Amino acid sequence: MNDSYYDSSAVDNYIKELSERETVKTSALKSEVLRRNAPMLALKYVGIGMMILLIGFGIKQALSYERTNISQVIHENINDQKGDHATTSSESDEVIDIELLLKESEIEKNLKKINDSMQSSSLDEDDETVRDFYIYDTIDTNLGKIDQVIIGHSFSNPGSEADYVFCYISVPGENGLFNRFDLISIGEEFGRTEAELNEEIALSMNVKLKNLKKAKTKCGI
């Protein structure tokens, strides 16, 4: 019996080559399909992204609308409370002149000190000494050489009202002494007297007339 041997390498190589060709064709087809489908896939993912953005925007708008309503309700409640408080305050508040109260309180304190001082000192019954009591208030100004307006109250005794009220300024002169000029005087005997202000008086005091007039307005008596 004779054994026969066939050389199939050529066939195997041919089959291998065919297989490789098919693999290349398959890869090329897959690439072509992917290339053709790429725009569709891109549109698909873009659509999904837009949908997510729209959903997020809708949720944000809903939350913003809710916060706006809550804020508006709180703001309206606060305004209502303020309105009620303002109405109540306007009905109950009274206009109080603080400066007048402080001035009167200061005068009363000074009178009490004088009264206590008199009671602590003993006077002889035959003593004919006449005493007047003065209280001075000063108002600081910034009117050139006029740096203060002085208001004086004269009392015959600490328990009485002022017999004499006067307002004046004191301006330094060329000789180093202060020159006094009475602006307003009020007394029981002569009534109310106001100084007439003019350029001549202003020159004699070496001050400006407008500053002299402004100082007079600060007397308050």
Query: What confidence score (pLDDT) does residue 86 get?
Result: 47
Instruction: Specify the length of the chain in residues.
Output: 221
Is residue 21 in some structural domain? yes
Number of structural domains in the chain: 2
Q: Are residues 82 and 177 both part of a single domain? A: no
Is residue 134 in some structural domain? yes
Q: Are residues 106 and 158 both part of a single domain? A: yes
Q: Are residues 108 and 191 both part of a single domain? A: yes
DSSP annotation of 11 reads H
Is residue 2 in some structural domain? no
Parallel/antiparallel/unpaired status of strands 133-143 and 191-194: unpaired
Q: Are residues 69 and 110 both part of a single domain? A: no
Query: What confidence score (pLDDT) does residue 89 get?
Result: 44
Detail the DSSP E strand segments found in the chain: 133-143, 146-155, 164-172, 178-187, 191-194
Q: Are residues 44 and 60 both part of a single domain? A: yes
Is residue 181 in some structural domain? yes
Query: What confidence score (pLDDT) does residue 129 get?
Result: 56
Q: Are residues 191 and 86 both part of a single domain? A: no
Q: Are residues 171 and 204 both part of a single domain? A: yes
Query: What confidence score (pLDDT) does residue 7 get?
Result: 63
Query: What confidence score (pLDDT) does residue 37 get?
Result: 74
Q: Are residues 110 and 211 both part of a single domain? A: yes
Average pLDDT for runs of 10 along the chain of length 221 = 60 73 76 75 80 81 62 57 50 52 62 62 51 86 92 84 91 84 89 91 91 92 84
In angstroms, rounded to a whole number, what is the distance separating the alpha carbons of residues 182 and 221?
A: 13
Cβ atoms 150, 138 nearer than 8 A: yes
Q: Which domain holds residue 156?
A: 99-120+130-217
In angstroms, rounded to a whole number, what is the distance separating the alpha carbons of residues 115 and 123?
A: 14
Q: Are residues 111 and 211 both part of a single domain? A: yes
